[in-house]
Amino acid sequence: MAQVIAVTNQKGGVGKTTTTINVAYNLTKAGKSVLLVDLDPQGNASSGLSVSRDKTTTRDVLSGKSSLKDAVQKTSYSKLDVLATDAELATLETEIATEKNRAIRLKEALKDAPYDVVLIDCPPSLGLLTVNALSAAHSVIIPVQTEYYALEGLGQLLETMKLVRQALNPHLAILGVVMTMHNSRTTLSSQVEEQLRANFKDRLFETVVPRNIRVAEAPSHGKPVGEYDKWSKGARAYKALSKEILERLP
Ligand SMILES: Nc1ncnc2c1ncn2[C@@H]1O[C@H](COP(=O)(O)OP(=O)(O)OP(=O)(O)O)[C@@H](O)[C@H]1O
Ligand SMILES: [Mg+2]
């Protein structure tokens, strides 16, 4: 059975999509077959891997119009498939709001998914889409940008996870917290790092992803940074992070 991992944090712009794309890519390089589910109507993960957003999408699968198998697209990278999304996904939440299985649609769709790992790129909210991701997942990866407000929303995320555990998914675990866009020169970064370590202990990944221009440029070329500039600091960090992730998987 696939290990399902949701990459989540309701704070916007903290590196969820970047982390999802680059971890997915590196896990395939380590021999795993990976499905990336783009669960964000912004569709950044889809465009970052240059898959078409005009074909069958996450929305079609969650609304029952398509099977997962028919909807996934291959990428340029072997062993890496994507379930793409488009802006239409945003209206799905209201469409299925009154349906009984609304929170477990993704879980049902991913049952028997023929991959080693499924990585879900969540939107920056704690709405029904994210709840679907948390219900479907074995664990979560939480990217955190090391800046002043970094810790503020984390309480709400942990509370949401607690509710999901109670109602839908008792074994939902934190696979890890990863510091992204880190600027090691500031005292603020080190303070945030200390606080994260105090709160998450061994769940905080050793690897810190630095702020690195190559990481930011790669999506405009439709590539993971490991393809765009293999020896950049960002590419090396995501490779190391993926190694840690593999070590934590059962
Ligand atoms: N390590 C990094 N170095 C430099 N730029 C980065 C790095 N990680 C991410 N970025 C850039 O920061 C921006 C936000 O990153 P990303 O889209 O991954 O965040 P997100 O959490 O998915 O955002 P959203 O909440 O909108 O979905 C993007 O422009 C991305 O290219
Ligand atoms: Mg994103």
Print the domain residue range for 156: 3-248
Q: Are strands 139-145 and 3-7 parallel, antiparallel or unpaired?
A: parallel
Mean pLDDT of the chain: 95
- How many Å apart are CA 7 and CA 122, to the nearest integer? 6
CB under 8 Å to 199, separation ≥6 — which residues? Answer: 151, 154
- Given a cut of 80, whether residue 148 has pLDDT beyond it is no
- Given a cut of 80, whether residue 111 has pLDDT beyond it is yes
Q: How confident is the model at residue 46 (pLDDT cuts 50, 70, 90)?
A: very high
* 242 C-beta closer than 6 A to ligand 1: no
Q: How confident is the model at residue 45 (pLDDT cuts 50, 70, 90)?
A: very high
Ramachandran sector of residue 141 (left: φ over 0; alpha: ψ -120 to 50; beta: rest)? beta
Query: What pLDDT sits at residue 54?
Result: 85
* 47 C-beta closer than 6 A to ligand 1: no
- Given a cut of 80, whether residue 178 has pLDDT beyond it is yes
Q: What is the DSSP string of 69-99?
A: HHH-EE-SSTTEEEE---GGGGGHHHHTTT-
Which atom of ligand 1 lies closest to the CA of 210? 1
| pLDDT tens per residue across span 190-204 | 889 999 999 999 999
Query: What pLDDT sits at residue 149?
Result: 81
Question: How many angstroms is it from 220 CA to the middle of ligand 2?
Answer: 14
Which of these, 203, 202, 227, lies nearest to 214 by C-alpha position? 227
Which residue CA neighbors atom 11 of ligand 1 most closely?
A: 216
Which atom of ligand 1 lies closest to the CA of 216? 31
**Tokens 């200390």 appear where?**
194
* 116 C-beta closer than 6 A to ligand 1: no
* 155 C-beta closer than 6 A to ligand 1: no
Question: Tell me, what CATH number does 97's domain have?
Answer: 3.40.50.300
The number of distinct structural domains making up the chain is 1
Q: How confident is the model at residue 146 (pLDDT cuts 50, 70, 90)?
A: confident
